[in-house]
Amino acid sequence: MPKSLTATMDRAMRLIRDNAEKVARHRDLPATSAGSQTLPDPTGILAKLGITRPSAAATAPTGALPDLSRLLKKLPAGLNRNLPGDLTAGLATGLQTDAGTAAARAAAAAAPGGQVRHLSYSGPSGARKYDLYVPTGYHGDPVPLVVMLHGGTQDAADFAAGTGMNALAEQHTFLVAYPEQSRAANHSGYWNWFRPEDQQAGSGEPAIIAGITQQILDDQPIDPARVYVAGLSAGGAMAAVMAATYPQVYAAAGVHSGLGHRAAIDIPSAFGAMGSGGTPTAGGSVPVIVFHGASDGTVAPINADKIISARLAGSKNAQIRVTTTVGADGSGRPYTRTVHTDADGTVIAESWIVQRAGHAWLGGNPVGSYTDPQGPDAAAEMTRFFLEHRAAPVTG
């Protein structure tokens, strides 16, 4: 067995053990309508391995986890079939149930009162559906646009409902687009952030997301200097990809519980990067705000540090001022906010590390999946950060 694959599986087993407490908390939760519960796979790696929805009988106690060497002997070549049943049972950790029906999520997404348009895009790299939220205060004058990329197993309505971004669009008058991953591209709906063909401009999913953005710019009066992108988990990783590959399009980016651009280049390295942060591509000119739970057992908090470090490495101004604030939200949950400002006073990077928070959108609405109703309010802080930034004029 190659050492890299052994390390990958070792990482998987460590995640199993680290999340044993979550199993105890969630074991009695109701199954989904399919009669099973959904494995926590926000980056899509388990789906790529063929692990999707084990039956309730498969969710065995974690007190007797299988020996890693025995499991590795059973691992099929190419990682293109299901892992052994005993590992599948062990991986049933951090179970998350559906927090609401599709109808309830759609209603929550539309609750702010604006119009939710169900649209589609087709271009040379592929086609995707997307929802576009148009606030009631929009009367045709150029306004900002925020592109929101959902996490694994989510869809546009789920993400809109859970993040509450449409309510902020009502408050500040901007449009929100929610591209939706195709189940043909990934059967569980994950953005393929770790594939080389989906990590560069002009091809794959980055080209599709940029195409959706441009289609909205063509169809609606949008201020091209105020276009932003944000995402959660796999969507957060893809937001980092978009900031790196299309800096001329996006004025700022938000990454919640995600990974840096090119932190991984394939499935094994993606597993590793979820724990180590990998080695994201240094550089980039797009300001970034990062949110991450300090207790995230799925995508380790070190990923937030790696994203910020990669962005700072691209700063042309060596005189970076760092300001750190330690505080607490209304519920008393502590956080550390670190702001990096260049010599001109422009914030180029900001991070929020929140104690006692896991792998979920902070300040979110529980009607959506992967949400944490306790703060700080990630959507509100990202909106504040976005509206403080405008893209530099294109010259030449």
**Residue 355 backbone dihedrals phi, psi, to 5 degrees:** -70, 150
CA distance 228 to 389: 9
CA distance 274 to 267: 11
Q: Are strands 347-354 and 288-293 parallel, antiparallel or unpaired?
A: parallel
Beta carbons within 10 angstroms of residue 332's beta carbon:
8
Decide if 389 contacts 287 (C-beta within 8 A): yes
Alpha helices in 201-256 (DSSP H): 204-219, 234-245
Cross-strand bridge partners of residue 305: none
Q: Which residues contact 153 (CB under 8 A, 6 or more apart)?
A: 38, 41, 42, 188, 189, 190, 369
Cross-strand bridge partners of residue 176: 133, 146
Go through the chain and tell me how many residues it has: 396
State both tokens at 239: 């937001």
CA distance 193 to 258: 10
CA distance 336 to 65: 35
* Amino acid identity for residue 280 in this structure: P
Cross-strand bridge partners of residue 336: 326, 353
- Coarse DSSP helix, strand, coil percentages of the chain, rounded to the nearest 5 percent: 35, 20, 45
CA distance 334 to 375: 9
Catalytic residue among 125, 188, 233, 369: 233
CA distance 304 to 314: 16
- Residue 233 catalytic? yes
CA distance 372 to 388: 26
Beta carbons within 10 angstroms of residue 204's beta carbon:
20
Q: Which residues are catalytic?
A: 233
